[in-house]
Amino acid sequence: MSGAEQAAHALPDGVNAVLHAATAPVSLEAVEPDEVVAGDPAQGFVEIGTIGGAETGIWELRGGTVTDTEVDELFVVLSGSASIELLSEPGAAADAEPRTVEVAAGDVMRLVAGTRTRWTVGDHIRKIYIAG
């Protein structure tokens, strides 16, 4: 990783530091139109850094319903909540019914790479993620 890439991380490698993730500024931008299902959602993220080769960061989504195809990820919800519909899951039967998971502050969830999701957020969700 170059010095410029490391400087872009909120907690760069080799530095003992703290980040107040619940209040760290996250710049929000409109979600790509092809990912918007409803509302006028905005999202943003802050790269925290890497650990053991995994990317870590803070992600926030506000006001709407969006779709996504997930990477292999573990996340902790810091604030807000979301309803996550798992539209398709790797390894599931082709005719499997989608299932919905509700997450809120304090919850930890694992998402498997390739899972197709629909996130519905009333106000906001802010999470810390670790992605492989």
How high is the pLDDT of residue 120?
A: 98
3-state secondary structure of 121: strand
Phi, psi of 126, rounded to the nearest 5 degrees: -130, 130
Task: Please tell me the distance from the alpha carbon of residue 104 to that of residue 110, in angstroms, as a whole number.
Answer: 14
Task: Report the number of distinct structural domains present in the chain.
Answer: 1
Bridge partners (DSSP) of residue 45 are: 59
How high is the pLDDT of residue 7?
A: 46
Domain that holds residue 41: 3-131
Residue 55: which CATH number? 2.60.120.10
Task: Please tell me the distance from the alpha carbon of residue 77 to that of residue 59, in angstroms, as a whole number.
Answer: 10
How high is the pLDDT of residue 96?
A: 86
Task: Please tell me the distance from the alpha carbon of residue 120 to that of residue 67, in angstroms, as a whole number.
Answer: 9
pTM for the model: 0.88
How high is the pLDDT of residue 94?
A: 82
pLDDT bucket at 44, cuts 50 / 70 / 90: very high
How high is the pLDDT of residue 45?
A: 96
